[in-house]
Amino acid sequence: MQIGVQTRPWGPERNRTDLNGILAEIAGAGYDGFEIGAQHLDLNDPATFRRLLAAHGLRVAGLHVGGEIDNPRAARAALANLERTVAFAAEVGATYLPFSGKMKETGRKAEAELSIQAASLNQVGELARAAGLTLCYHNHFWEIEDDARELRHLLAHTDPALVSLCLDVAWVQRGGGDPVSLAREVFDRVGYFHFKDTTADEWMELGRGVVDIAGLAALLRERNYDGWVVVEQDETKGPPVESAKISRAYLRDIL
């Protein structure tokens, strides 16, 4: 099993201007690698990124991307913008392309919109597979609400060979689901996991919120899971590296 961390809590400014410093902190905290939003990177310069990986002995689990894919015009724009990102990800040795969709601001998505979303994800999955990457759809709370209506539609209407999941367990919790139960149900479609903890309204270090992280770890052991577990904490009260160290220590104890 490989343990990574999302660079989000270090903030967009440091992600863009001090990635070397962030990676030094991540390596020092005992992680194997990291996930980063593609928007923070110079996609025309994979060589510099590869040198940073080598300098810190880290791997990149995935480059996180996203877009509005439930209407045709926005989906076409998202696909056009992804080609360069996918090429960069392949050049720097990323394994996964985690992808976040958009929430509908008013009401829930209609069946037609969900069908467009699924078809768009299949297209993104084709693009990723051609570059040797695995597309993993990253859930938020809205895919989990209403008995995981959106997530279930996605799983039923996308090709398992093209579309996997990046299951974010804290968003499952906030969406009213049971993270362990849902993880067990969809396990065969999970490419990798976002381990994240939360209270009702605050993001926490692992083991300090209400998510059953220990139960999830037991499921991973039961299934002999050997992929990536990426720690993600959207916000931290103190320095991000200190929160990352707390979560890494907790994972050592339970995994």
For residue range 67-94, what is the model confidence (pLDDT) as tens digits?
Answer: 888 777 877 777 777 889 999 999 999 9
Delineate the domains of the chain, giving CATH numbers in brackets: 2-254 (3.20.20.150)
Predicted local confidence at residue 79, as pLDDT: 78
What is the predicted pLDDT for the residue at 129?
A: 96
d(CA 202, CA 206): 12
Tens digit of pLDDT for each residue in 167-193? 999 999 999 999 999 999 999 999 999
Q: What are phi and psi of 47, to 5 degrees?
A: -65, -45
Q: What is the mean pLDDT of residues 158-164?
A: 98
Say what the pLDDT of residue 70 is. 78
Of how many residues is the chain composed? Answer: 255
- Across the range 227-245, mean pLDDT stands at 97
Spatial separation of the C-alpha atoms in residues 32 and 52, rounded to whole Å: 14
pLDDT tens figures, 18-40: 999 999 999 999 999 999 999 99
Which residues on neighbouring strands pair with residue 198, listed in sequence order?
203
- CA dist 212 and 210 (Å) reads 6
In which band, very low, low, confident or very high, does the pLDDT at 105 lie, cut at 50, 70 and 90? confident
